[in-house]
Amino acid sequence: MSTLSDLVYAQGRFTEPDVEWLHRLAGDGQLLADLAFADIVIWVPTADDSFVAVAHTRPGGAATLFYRDIVGDRVRPQWRTQVLEAFQSGRIVDSASPDWFEETPTRVRAVPIVRTSNQAGKAAVTVGVLTRHTNLGEARIPSRQQITFNDCADDVFGMVASGEFPDLAAPTAPRRGAPRASDGLIRLDVDGITTFASPNALSAFNRMGFDDELEGEALVDVTTRILPADREVDESLPVVVTGRAPWRADIEARGVQVSLRTIPLRDHGVRIGAIVLCRDVTEIRHQEQELITKDATIREIHHRVKNNLQTVASLLRIQARRTHSDEARDALSQAMRRVSAIAVVHDTLSEGLAQNVDFDDVFDRVLKLVAEVAAAPNTRARTRSTGRFGTLPSEYATPLALALTELVTNAVEHGLAGREGEVEITAERSDERLEVRVRDSGVGMPEGHVGQGLGTQIVRTLIQGELGGTIDWHTLVGSGTEVTIDIPMRYIDRSRA
């Protein structure tokens, strides 16, 4: 399915501000659909004087007309004249008589989408048309709430046609907990007096300690009464509850937290009232706080694990320096490097919220761990890394970092022992696989002969057992050894799901 941006830019006549305006309007598509109890479709003109649907939102409290998404479809012939008239005239155009859509009577309203500019001297421009498709097949006597919702929808449609909605100065909606019309709606007049409050809105304020009716009350006075005197208040709250600015604020009382969003209503620039959407977000905010606490705890655990591993590595280094056996000293030094490689991964994890790591950064730091080996007498080794590993989950980053540490260390210790050379690590990643090659310019090894030491066993176990991949050693033509690691990405993708 094409995105709104793709569909709009494909018409070849729209600018970036046009697309941003349409995105903002589409972002409030659910609000418009719920207020109008109708399907909302956004159309943009094409090069051949037709229109294509770039966004579609179904109502939450009424039957939809479109059981299949029409985004990307051309406008139907029975709507084209009405949509074209709204686009060319810049006026709202209602259907003269009920329109039949798949044996269902409907009423269609076409609203021109007018974009205004903040720059002086820039004229307003019509960038598309919004259509409201009301299902008349389930017509019944409307309730007071439905009448109020429809009135609010008409006011917002008028603002869309005059370029006053959406408001680019308004903050973008949060990902979680944004109030919707069904969560609670309060209608204010121009003086901030409540003229209507839906049952859900009244319940939200009742839970915060307001026991009376909201209608007839100034919302700012109600909010002042329920807020604790010692509670620090959001600076934007006064303009939100008076309906003067398209902002958002949270209020909290008696352990209940309610999110508010205000949409000022205007008629050709004159403020006529406001819509205040409210939602009880107590449980959502509690979950968010738990997640923040959990994330902080996980980061602290990674930090402590890293510190403990670095302590262990330091103890192994001290012990290696004090031992008189060359074999024991080498074993302790190798163990120190392995522990340090694992510590690098935990150090990276402690710096962010995600349990994924940028492995290119991790590997750059791991390569520095072989510097001590490269500084061995009569050995001059240069390491070079090309390609990108990308982001890996922590359960894959640790074994891969440890395996590559072993391979690079072996290449320097055995392939380049007593000589000068280079170790090159190449990473190639696609959607299906991650392939890593470790190549040295050393003495090589007999073809088909693979070491049986502890390091080789560790690498095999990590790559084959932990990562579900394959590993292969072979001698290059001329000199040197190349180790190829192939890891299927489907296992990594499954671990993220």
Q: What is the pLDDT along the chain (497 residues), one digit of tens a residue?
A: 568 999 999 888 899 999 999 999 999 999 999 999 999 999 999 999 899 999 999 998 888 888 888 999 999 999 999 999 999 999 999 987 777 777 788 899 999 999 987 665 577 899 999 999 998 877 678 889 999 999 999 999 999 999 999 988 787 766 567 899 999 999 999 999 999 999 999 999 999 999 999 999 999 999 989 988 776 767 788 889 999 999 898 899 988 999 999 999 999 889 999 999 999 998 888 887 777 777 777 777 777 877 887 788 788 878 888 888 878 887 887 787 778 777 777 777 776 656 778 888 888 877 776 655 555 666 677 788 888 888 888 778 888 888 888 888 878 777 776 677 788 889 998 888 889 988 887 777 655 556 666 778 888 888 888 888 888 888 776 677 888 889 887 655 544 44
214 touches 197 (CB < 8 A)? yes
Query: H-helix or E-strand containing 342?
Result: helix 326-349
- Alpha-helix residue ranges (DSSP H) falling in 195-325: 199-207, 219-226, 237-241, 282-322
Encode 56-70: b = buried (16+ Cβ within 10 Å), e = exposed.
Answer: bbbbeebeebbeeeb
* pLDDT at residue number 174: 62
Burial class (CB in 10 A: 0-12, 13-18, 19+), 20: middle
Domain boundaries, the chain: 4-161, 181-280, 287-353, 370-497
Looking at this protein, which amino acid is placed at residue 283? Answer: E
Nearest of 361, 375, 369, 446 to residue 408 by alpha carbon: 369
* Cβ atoms < 10 Å from Cβ of 76: 13
Please list the helix, strand and coil fractions of the chain in percent, rounded to the nearest 5, in that order. 40, 25, 35
Give the model's pLDDT for residue 496: 45
Q: Contact at 8 Å (CB) between 112 and 87?
A: yes
Q: Is the peptide bond before 166 cis (omega within 30 degrees of 0)?
A: yes
Distances (CA, A) of 475 to 246, 439, 483: 69, 9, 9
pTM higher than the cut 0.75:
no
Contacts of 486 (CB under 8 A, 6+ apart): 433, 434, 435, 469, 470, 471
Contact 7, 23 (CB under 8 A): no
Q: Please choose, from the candidates 366, 364, 368, the residue with its C-alpha nearest in 3D space to the C-alpha of residue 342.
A: 366
- Please check whether residue 397 is in contact with residue 359, taking contact to mean a CB–CB distance below 8 angstroms: yes
Contact between residue 116 and residue 142 where contact means Cβ atoms under 8 Å apart: no
Give the C-alpha separation, 59 to 278, whole Å: 18
CATH number given to 370-497:
3.30.565.10
181-280 adopts what CATH topology? Beta-Lactamase (3.30.450)
The dihedral region occupied by 358, where left means phi > 0, alpha psi between -120 and 50, and beta the remainder, is beta
Q: Which two tokens stand for residue 104?
A: 């269902």
| Model pLDDT, residue 374 | 52
Angle, vertex CA 94, rays to CA 92 and CA 100, nearest 5: 145
What gap in Å lies between CA 40 and CA 53, rounded to an integer?
A: 10
* Exposure letters 122-131 (e unless 16+ CB within 10 A, then b): eeebbbbbbb
> What's the confidence (pLDDT) of residue 121?
57
Q: Between the CA of residue 229 and those of 219, 220, 236, 239, what are the distances in Å?
A: 17, 15, 17, 19
Compute CA 446 distance to the chain's CA centroid, rounded to the nearest angstrom: 52
Is there a shared CATH topology between the 4-161 domain and the 181-280 domain?
Answer: yes
d(CA 430, CA 358): 16
Find out whether 51 and 80 touch, Cβ atoms under 8 Å. Answer: yes
Report the half-sphere exposure of 184 (CA within 13 A, side-chain side).
23
User: Is 3.90.1150.10 the CATH classification of the domain at 4-161?
Assistant: no
